[in-house]
Amino acid sequence: MQLDRPGERLRMVERPIPTPGPGELLIEVAACGICRTDLHVVDGDIEGPLPIVPGHEIVGRVAGTGERVGVPWLGRTCGHCPYCAAGRENLCDHPLFTGFTRDGGFASHVVADARFCLPIPDSYGDVAAAPLLCAGLIGWRALKLAGEGEALGLYGFGAAAHILAQAATGRRVHAFTRPGDGDAQAFALSLGCASAQDSGAAPPEELDAAIIFAPVGALVPEALRRVRKGGRVVCAGIHMSDVPGFPYADLWGERSILSVANLTRDDGIEFLETAAKVPVRTQTIVFPLARANEALDLLRAGGIEGAAVLVPEGG
C-alpha cells in the first residue's frame, strides 16, 4: 500500500520482490501495526521522500531461514556523527526511518538492515507483537525520561498508552482521554489505571510526571499545571500542534518539558524483554492489507481501542 502524495489515499501497487543489499535481510511480513506516526506521514504532517510504503511496526520472517524478527522505526544510523559516537543513536544526524525514508511494512515483503532488527519474544504471536515495536518502544523510552515518580499521567489513551499502562509496574497511572470518551476511560480502568478522566480534568493527586501521546499542543500547559514541583511533562509524539503560551508560574518550581525522539536498539531489547516478563498484553484489531485506508480512517477518528494491525492477504 503506497503513498504517492500527502493527504491522498494509499494505493495498492505490485512491485518485484525487493533484493536485499549487503548487511540487509529480505523479510516476509506477517503483521504490521499502524502507528499514529503513519497518520502523520500519510497526512503530510511530517515530510519525507515519496512515493513511500508506510509501516514501522513489522513482524516477519527472514526469507530463506524463517527466523522471526521485528523491524522498528529506526532503520539505520550513520554510526559516526557526534550523537552516534556518544551512544545516542536515536538522535543520529543521518538516519533512515522505516516507512518514512525507506519503504516499510504495509506490504508483503520488506528489506531491513539486519543490525536494526529486533528479536521477538516467543510468548507473542505475530499480531500481538506488532504494536510493541513502536507504540511500546516509544512509550518505554518516554517512561524512562519521565523519571522514577509514582504518580504518572498518560494523556491520550491509544495504542502506546494501553501498553505503557501495563508496563509501568509499581506506579499509579492516571489516564486522560478526549472529553466524553467513556469507552476509552473504561478501557483504561480495565487495564489497571488508578483513574480515568477527561483531558481537562484534575487527577485525584498531583502527578510526578505526565506523558503526552495525543498530538495536541494544548495538552502541554494542561499537563504542566497537573505536575508537582520538580515534575516532568514528556511529549512522546513525532508531531504535535503548536503549544500555546502559558504563565511562567506554571513552569516555575523546577518543572520541565521535554520530548522523546525515536529510539535506540538498546531500548528495543530492554523493552521487549520487560514486556514478556510483565507480561504486557496488547489489544488489537486486525485488518487485511488492502483495507489499510479504512484502518487509518478509524485511527484518525479515535475509533481504535488498542492498536490496529495489518496482515497481508494469505498471512
CATH number of the domain bearing residue 28:
3.90.180.10
What pLDDT does 314 receive? 63
Pairing of strands 284-288, 307-311: parallel
CATH of the domain at 204: 3.40.50.720
pLDDT at 315: 52
**What percentage of the chain carries pLDDT values higher than 70?**
99
pLDDT tens per residue across span 243-286: 999 999 999 999 999 999 999 999 999 999 999 999 999 999 99
Given this model, what pLDDT does residue 313 score? 84
Same domain, 124 and 142: no
What pLDDT does residue 116 have?
A: 98
Mean pLDDT of 45-60: 97
pLDDT of residue 30: 98
Domain count, the chain: 2
**Are the C-beta atoms of 268 and 98 separated by less than 8 Å?**
no
Domain interval for residue 193: 136-259
Across 66-89, average pLDDT? 98
Question: Does 268 reside within a domain?
Answer: no
What is the pLDDT averaged over residues 182-205?
97
Determine how many CB atoms are found less than 10 A away from the CB of residue 237.
20
Considering the entire predicted model, what is its pTM? 0.95
For residue 112, being part of any structural domain is answered with: yes
- Three state DSSP letters for 93-147: CCCEEECCCECCCCCCEEEEEHHHCEECCCCCCHHHHHHHHCHHHHHHHHHHHHC
